[in-house]
Amino acid sequence: MTAHVAENIGRHSALAVGRRASAGRTVGGYALRIVLCLVFGLPLLFMILSSFKPDLEIFADVGSVRAFLPVGHLTLDNYTGVFDRVPFWQFLFNSVLISVVTVALGLVVNSMAAYALGRLRFRGRKVILAVILATLIVPFEVLALPLLWWVNKLPWLDANGFSLGWLDTYQVQILPFVANAFSIFLFYQYFDSIPKELDEAAVVDGAGFFRIYRTIVMPLSGPAIATVAILTFLPAWNSYLWPLMVVQSENLRPVMVGIDYFKQLNVSWGQIMAYATMITVPVLALFIAFQRAFINSIASSGVKG
Amino acid sequence: MVSRTLSRLGATGLAAVAALGLLAGCGKGGGGGSAGGGDNGSLTLWTHNAGNAKELAADQQVVDDFNKSQSQYKVTVQSFPQDSYNQSVTAAAASKKLPCILDVDGPNVPNWAWAGYLSPLTGMDDTLSKFLPSVVGKYQDKTYSFGHYDVALAMYARPSTLQAAKIRVPSIDKPWTAAEFASGLKALKATGKYPVVLDLATGNTGEWWPYAYSPFLQSFGGDLINRSDYKSADGALNGDKAVAWATWFRSLVTDGYTPLKSSADPEADFLNGKSAILYNGSWGAEQARAKLGKDVVFVPPPDFGSGPKIGGGSWQWAVSSGCGNQDGAMAFMKFLAQDKYVASISEAAGTIPATDAAAAMVKGYEPGGDNDIFRQFSKKFAEVRPPTPGYPFIATEFTKTSQDILNGADPKQALDKAVSDIDANQKSNNYFA
């Protein structure tokens, strides 16, 4: 009897401890999530709220909770100031164009390269893949000057005729970033998971390499396409160093270079916040709209960080 | 469904290529091809004023006037943001696409002249003799640039604050001595009213550090390099006087007067009453007066033994060596040097006009005007940063060393290391012979 009671008490206390531990883990998990939300969310909140405050008020509020509250003299002056100082719509158009074209061309070129390396049989393809992957360790800053030298020598043919040198054009902001080793690797890895029996069946039916690529492999690679599209779009949108080096005309500059327009002797912090909000919110809205697809694609293609 | 998506993707790719082809035609900037080569009388001018509507408009007015004044040459303006202007210029120089006329930050002139970016200005000596010496860019006895304006550093303070702490308001003829300054800081701290007693804007980056803090070093009797031959910094940057400067600089932090890193906008902090004394440029004077009215004074930096010192040299105009039309570029430079343009551009920039005649035309800078004090500071205390091509390296080294000292590094050791690095750089470049 006593032993039975003791056993019951033991079981109950073990359950209680288990429940408490589980509750503790849940609370801890939520606390961690809240902290992470604050770490990533508060700077954005500060940026958006500060964009409605005069410069002096922004700095008066720093150091208190007011910095994260819509209090004080709220005004749209910073936003009107942005349009006075920067050709915002031109910069936005340029960035959208550059990012969208880079993504579109990148999807086609990189998937084709990955398909050739993964599905076609030819001597040296492993070496080519290794060389492509090796380029991942070279940071862009190292390549910038040689690339500048190259693009300054390249020919171009368009409606205005033949010209030499790509500086100060749209193509110089797009074409060097179309082929991307990481995108090729992602496609290559994903294509590898698609059964080769499908290709063999298609060959029996008379399909050629391009038809297999277009009608079998690519339709099954939705997650990889989404991942590559997002991972190509973000650096294209955030591009800063390269446009500084190759673009001289204001009408070709992307949005990120526009930030520098506000850093004069008297820095207009309120306008910087307004401008940063204007160029961040569209990307943020896009991410929120496609959040689920993005996370699914990242999870299924095995890419993290 | 996916197949349809793919077809769309393919079509998008093709459309992207087509769009790029079309846009390449209409999206070519003015700087394409020969950036400012001066072919057919066309000259391109680069300025750092993108985002600064007033000064850019003043630049554009000069260009418009020049283009109307004759029919041989046509100048076109291209503006760049100041913060990244140097990167744009060096990239253009690397690809041999510099424009004919460009502006350049004063301390960079010797380096760009030595690197072959700039050609000397000829036939302008008489005109430029009327300009403040600090705005004329020289290297090896040749003039490479001139500016329409300068800026001056000063200590901003509220008279009411100084009087309450029983601190004398200094003047241009009787600045604070080192001892007076020290006791003043102590008195201000004792009031307990100010989170920051002396804000030196230590959160600023880049050129601010040598521009703002090397004058203190010079006032102590040290310097960034020996100016007799510009070969070595030994003795100038690590002698007893330089060590005294470094020790004083660090003591500002250890005594609790100056933060290790100021906020992003020290001027706003001063105007909000968070700091008692602000070390700032003349560019902030109008805003300070607008906020504080009569309760603000701009006083010279203290005299630490060799007199008060401030940095000299701001943005200046130059002609590139690759310009295919030197005559046209020089014609423009001479046109640009007129007093009326010195006045209009410096007024638009809110800076100190470089000539007496121009100062008389700009409200506030006329003798006795509200801002005349800054012009007097420039005339009396300005020290140009060492005119050697090695200056960019010296500036970086000084910045790094000053930051180390402020963070607690041993002053003598830190300065010895800086001297060793600077001397090695001068030597490895054959002293820029």
Full pLDDT tens readout for chain B, 433 residues: 444 544 554 544 445 444 444 454 445 544 333 445 666 789 999 999 999 999 999 999 999 999 999 999 999 999 999 888 998 999 999 888 999 999 999 999 999 999 999 999 999 999 999 999 999 999 999 999 999 999 999 999 999 999 999 999 999 999 999 999 999 999 999 999 999 999 999 998 889 999 999 999 999 999 999 999 999 999 999 999 999 999 999 999 999 999 999 988 899 999 999 999 999 999 999 999 999 999 999 999 999 999 999 999 899 999 999 999 999 999 999 999 999 999 999 999 999 999 999 999 999 999 999 999 999 999 999 999 999 999 999 999 999 999 999 999 999 999 999 999 999 999 999 999 8
In angstroms, what separates the C-alpha of B31 from chain A's closest C-alpha? 6
Domain hosting A22: range is: 2-77
- Chain A hits for B35, Cβ within 8 Å: 167-168, 248
Half-sphere exposure of A218 (CA within 13 A, CB side): 28
**Residue in chain B lying closest to A87 (CA):** B51
Identify residue B402 by its one-letter amino acid code.
S
Do A170 and A224 lie in one domain? The reply is yes
**CA-based nearest residue to B204, from B257, B278, B266, B286:** B266
Per-residue pLDDT at B280: 96
- Chain A hits for B30, Cβ within 8 Å: 168, 248-249
Q: Is A211 an interface residue toward B (CB < 8 Å)?
A: no
Do A114 and A27 lie in one domain? The reply is no
Rounded to whole angstroms, the Cα distance separating B177 from B174 reads 9
* Tokens standing for residue B362: 């700009």
Quick check: A301 pLDDT over 70? no
Do A73 and A151 lie in one domain? The reply is no
Are A254 and A173 in contact by the 8 Å Cβ rule? The answer is yes
Rounded to whole angstroms, the Cα distance separating B168 from B163 reads 7
- Chain B hits for A187, Cβ within 8 Å: none
Domain ranges of chain B: 39-150+313-380, 153-310+390-432
CB interface of A with B, residues 5-44, below 8 Å: none
Which among A107, A219, A266 is the nearest to B284, CB-wise? A266
Q: Domain B153-310+390-432 belongs to what architecture?
A: 3-Layer(aba) Sandwich (3.40)
Give the number of other CB atoms < 10 A from CB of residue B386: 22
Identify residue A141 by its one-letter amino acid code.
E
> What are the pLDDT digits (tens) for A112-141?
999 999 999 899 999 999 999 999 999 998
Suggest the residue from A260, A271, A273, A297 to mutate for an interface test with chain B (most B CBs closer than 10 A).
A260
Are A232 and A103 in contact by the 8 Å Cβ rule? The answer is yes
Per-residue pLDDT at B89: 93
**CA-based nearest residue to B257, from B159, B191, B162, B160:** B191
Are B362 and B346 in contact by the 8 Å Cβ rule? The answer is yes
CATH number of B39-150+313-380: 3.40.190.10
> What are the pLDDT digits (tens) for B118-138?
999 999 999 999 999 999 999
- Would strands B142-146 and B196-199 be described as parallel, antiparallel, or unpaired? unpaired
Q: What is the mean pLDDT of residues A184-188?
A: 94
Q: Is A104 an interface residue toward B (CB < 8 Å)?
A: yes
* Tokens standing for residue B266: 């020290």
Please count the residue pairs, one from chain A and one from chain B, whose beta carbons lie less than 8 angstroms apart.
169
Are A62 and B274 in contact by the 8 Å Cβ rule? The answer is no
In angstroms, what separates the C-alpha of A278 from chain B's closest C-alpha? 17
Per-residue pLDDT at B2: 42
CB interface of B with A, residues 336-375, below 8 Å: 350
Do A42 and A165 lie in one domain? The reply is no
Do A95 and A59 lie in one domain? The reply is no
Q: Is A150 an interface residue toward B (CB < 8 Å)?
A: no
| Per-chain mean pLDDT for chain B | 91
Do A205 and A127 lie in one domain? The reply is yes
End-to-end CA distance of chain B: 71
| Residue B176 phi, psi (nearest 5) | -65, 145
Q: Is A56 an interface residue toward B (CB < 8 Å)?
A: yes
Which among A219, A264, A269 is the nearest to B6, CB-wise? A219
Domain annotation covers residue A299:
no
Question: Confidence band (pLDDT; 50, 70, 90) for A157?
Answer: confident
Rounded to whole angstroms, the Cα distance separating B150 from B164 reads 34
Per-residue pLDDT at B31: 39
> What are the pLDDT digits (tens) for B280-308?
999 999 999 999 999 999 999 999 999 99
**CA-based nearest residue to B144, from B163, B166, B164, B128:** B128
Per-residue pLDDT at B95: 87
Domain tally, chain A = 2
Domain annotation covers residue A267:
no
Are A95 and A257 in contact by the 8 Å Cβ rule? The answer is no
Cβ–Cβ gap B268/A257 under 8 Å: no
Domain annotation covers residue A103:
yes
Do A44 and A9 lie in one domain? The reply is yes
- Chain B hits for A156, Cβ within 8 Å: 24
Do A207 and A92 lie in one domain? The reply is yes
**CA-based nearest residue to A273, from A77, A104, A39, A129:** A77
Q: Is A89 an interface residue toward B (CB < 8 Å)?
A: no
Do A13 and A99 lie in one domain? The reply is no
Do A189 and A116 lie in one domain? The reply is yes
Quick check: A95 pLDDT over 90? yes
Cβ–Cβ gap B79/A250 under 8 Å: yes
CB interface of B with A, residues 39-68, below 8 Å: 46, 50-53
Per-residue pLDDT at A10: 65
| Residue A158 phi, psi (nearest 5) | -145, -165
Domain annotation covers residue A273:
no
Lookup result for tokens 């005294």: B244
Last residue within a domain, chosen from A77, A105, A123 = A77
Q: Exposed/middle/buried for B83, CB within 10 Å: 0-12, 13-18, 19+?
A: buried
| Residue B138 phi, psi (nearest 5) | -120, 150
* Tokens standing for residue B241: 């006087």
Q: Is B266 an interface residue toward A (CB < 8 Å)?
A: no
Domain annotation covers residue A133:
yes
Q: Transcribe A229-245 into DSSP letters.
A: HHHHHHHHHT--HHHHH
> What are the pLDDT digits (tens) for B104-114?
999 999 999 99
Under DSSP, the state recorded for B131 is B
Do A257 and A119 lie in one domain? The reply is yes
Are B109 and B316 in contact by the 8 Å Cβ rule? The answer is yes
Last residue within a domain, chosen from A33, A51, A77 = A77
Element (H, E) at B311: strand B310-312
Quick check: A145 pLDDT over 70? yes
In angstroms, what separates the C-alpha of A221 from chain B's closest C-alpha? 9
Domain annotation covers residue A67:
yes
Per-residue pLDDT at B5: 46
Question: Confidence band (pLDDT; 50, 70, 90) for A25?
Answer: confident
Which among A59, A100, A245 is the nearest to B265, CB-wise? A59
* Tokens standing for residue B232: 């070595």
Last residue within a domain, chosen from A262, A280, A296 = A262
Which among A164, A175, A249 is the nearest to B29, CB-wise? A249
CA B362 → CA A302, B49, B129, B242, B329, distances in Å? 65, 20, 20, 39, 27
Are B354 and B131 in contact by the 8 Å Cβ rule? The answer is yes
* CATH number, position A180: 1.10.3720.10
Domain annotation covers residue A276:
no
> What are the pLDDT digits (tens) for A255-268?
999 999 998 766 78
- Chain A hits for B80, Cβ within 8 Å: 248
Domain annotation covers residue A71:
yes
Collect contacts of A154-160 with beta carbons under 8 A, ≥24 apart. Answer: A156/B24, A158/B21, A158/B22, A158/B24, A158/B25, A159/B21, A159/B22, A159/B25, A160/B25, A160/B28
Identify residue B215 by its one-letter amino acid code.
P
Do A234 and A96 lie in one domain? The reply is yes
Q: What is the mean pLDDT of residues A274-283?
A: 93
Cβ–Cβ gap A148/B94 under 8 Å: yes
> What are the pLDDT digits (tens) for A27-71?
889 999 999 999 999 999 999 999 999 988 898 888 889 999 999
Cβ–Cβ gap A59/B88 under 8 Å: no
